[in-house]
Chains A and B, each alone.
With several copies, the nearest count.
Chain A
Amino acid sequence: MLTIQKFKTMIAAAGVDIRAEEKSFSELDAASGGDGDHGTAIVTAFNAMQKADGAEFKGYLKALTDALQNEACGSTSTLYGAWLQGMSDAAPEGASELDAAALAAVFKGGLDEIGFTTKARVGDKTLMDALIPATEALVAAQAEGVPAMLRQGAEAAAKGSDATCAMRARFGRAKNLGERSIGPRDAGSASMACIFKAFAKTVM
């Protein structure tokens, strides 16, 4: 079971780790032909999310979405906004605890919604390269319980992000770089992997 309290701690822990790596995310963004601000963007997103609160999952996730969409800007906030919105939609009404199956459904809902917002999929060198395998691994590990789900999600996210180094960008600001986008890791996948790692650490 995952309590809403624990989930808030997961979000807070992710915020801490994201802030610690802010500079490296911006540098990755610049190195891969972006505008060098992904660290700034994801930290701004977490700063906005800090203001959200709620006693149960649906409401808290919705509050996170609203905070992001109203106070933050940029692709990252839009994509995270969609992700959290999808999670909120999939969360059972009024629940302040989620069992493994409900948690899997929440993450699946999040992935579905972000998938409506962007056409990027695995192989396009975006945060989807971390999020899609992470969600799949997490859902697949349902039988093993919440901590295992998050651990396997984190591992899959890290592997997915690693794989972006060899990819050519096809979405976002780096897409025109062509061949030259091959080499550096995708910034958005790196921050996504960082978040899943923090989630896993928190429930260990």
Chain B
Amino acid sequence: MAMKKFINDPANLTKELLEGLALCYSGRVKLVNEKIVVRTTPKDESKVAIITLGGAGHEPALSGFVGEGMLDASVVGDIFAAPGAPKVLETLRMFKREAGILLVTLNHAGDRMSASKALRDAQKEGIKVVEIVTHEDISAGVDTPIDDKRGLAGCIPLYKVVGAAAEAGKSLEEIVEIGERFNGQMATLAVAMTGCTHPQNGGAIAVLPDDEMEIGMGQHGEAGGGRTKILSADETAARMIAPLVQATGVKAGDTALLIINGVGATTLMEMLIVYRKAAQILAAKGVHVTPGACGEYLTVQEMAGFQMILCKLDPDHADYLKAKARSPYWTA
């Protein structure tokens, strides 16, 4: 049976999708050296550059967030595969500057290995670069050691915050402080309803029984341990927001950002219904929910499900979230 996807040679997926991105959003991004997406109009060299890395297959993430006010570059691997360290190092060299570089790495084994190697090599060469690792997935439990928590779509509001801080002329040290504070106050939990198809080999990932869903699914179909019969939208929202509130510590009087990130086949209709209940629960607790987002930001092919991201906001974070941004898939 043919894969039900609009693709050409599966070996060229990443190359072609990045070319498509650069053609479609030519005013915002361009592609250099095959796997590096950068802004069409670079940020002034006096400002800190923000760079990230990761596999493809999660579109619009990560490259869709390159642009004014967000990322300066995204180093792309292949489908669900981290880019090699040499490519990361090449990008760090490209953005070498006195102000320094912030490298944002999602906590996945492949990304971490490439980033670590590139960082060591870059630092040896005198490139000023600091890494922030995101690890906000609470599916393994709120108290799981940081190294065992995956980085999910929480990287996106983080890009927004550090991107705006860089644009505002903050120093690398300041941006790291702002970013790590944000990083420490956000949490994500994912839920999946169906599996998906790996677009290169056509294999099924994360197949689920017809009447079950899984809370805690990772963003490549990695299981999360929370299999349950299908719940209603309201029950699902309630079940997910509770541990997120616990993890972030948001309480009455706090300001919070809530994002529902669809991972593929789940409709925006559903995401909005889930957002409604989660926002109502937060409001009932006396939390001030700022304007949020519902949409597909970091996907897992055509998997049905979503990630719920909750961020407790300090006043500076709230301001950075509102600042101007002009990436293909996030504007403010």
Contacts and interface: CB of A to CB of B under 8 A. Distances in A.
Let me know if chains A and B touch directly in the complex, using CB atoms closer than 8 Å. Answer: yes
B80 A37 contact: yes
Given A173-B222, A177-B222, A75 B110 contact: yes
B220 A34 contact: yes
B82 interface: yes
Contact of A78 (B82, B137, B148, B224): B82
Tell me which of A27, A174, A177 has the highest count of chain B C-beta atoms within 10 A of its own C-beta: A177
B85 interface: yes
Contacts of A88: none
Interface in B122-146: 137, 139-140
A121 interface: no
B221 A75 contact: no
Contacts of A68: 84
Contact of B198 (A40, A74, A81): A40
A30 interface: yes
B117 to A, nearest CB: 7
A34 B201 CA distance: 14
A98 B19 CA distance: 46
A177 B78 CA distance: 24
B84 A37 contact: no
Contact of A35 (B86, B139, B221): B221
Contacts of B81: 37, 41, 73-75, 77
Given A173-B220, A177-B223, A69 B80 contact: no
Nearest to B139: A176
Contacts of A35: 80, 198, 205, 220-222
Contacts of B216: 176
Nearest to B11: A44
Interface string A157-183: 000000000000001111111101000
A117 B198 contact: no
B200 interface: yes
Interface in B145-178: 148, 150
Contacts of A176: 137, 139-140, 148, 150, 216, 218, 222-225
Contacts of B79: 37, 40
A79 B221 contact: no
B201 A26 contact: yes
Interface residues of B, number: 38
A41 B80 CA distance: 10
For the residues of B in contact with A, the DSSP-based class is loop
Interface of B: 55, 77-87, 108-110, 113-114, 117, 137, 139-140, 148, 150, 198, 200-201, 203-206, 216, 218, 220-225
B225 A177 contact: yes
Contacts of A37: 79-81, 198, 200-201, 203
Interface string A75-96: 1011101000000000000000
For the residues of A in contact with B, the DSSP-based class is helix
Interface in A40-81: 40-41, 44, 68-70, 72-75, 77-79, 81
A180 B217 CA distance: 13
A115 interface: no
Given A37-B200, A74-B55, A180 B82 contact: no
Contacts of A81: 84-85
A75 B83 CA distance: 9
Interface residues of A, number: 36
A201 interface: no
Interface of A: 22-23, 26-27, 30, 33-37, 39-41, 44, 68-70, 72-75, 77-79, 81, 117-118, 171-178, 180
A153 B200 CA distance: 32
A51 B192 CA distance: 40
Contacts of A73: 55, 77-78, 81-84, 110
Nearest to A72: B84
A70 B86 contact: yes
A117 B221 contact: no
Contact of A36 (B77, B117, B203, B218): B203
14 contacts: A30-B206, A36-B203, A36-B205, A40-B79, A40-B198, A70-B87, A72-B78, A73-B78, A74-B80, A78-B84, A79-B113, A176-B139, A176-B218, A177-B225
Nearest to B197: A36
Given A34-B220, A36-B221, A40-B198, 7 more contacts: A41-B81, A74-B81, A75-B110, A78-B110, A78-B114, A176-B218, A177-B224
A44 B81 CA distance: 11
Please provide the 4 A-B residue pairs with the shortest distance between their CB atoms, ordered closest to farther: A74-B81, A35-B220, A75-B110, A73-B77
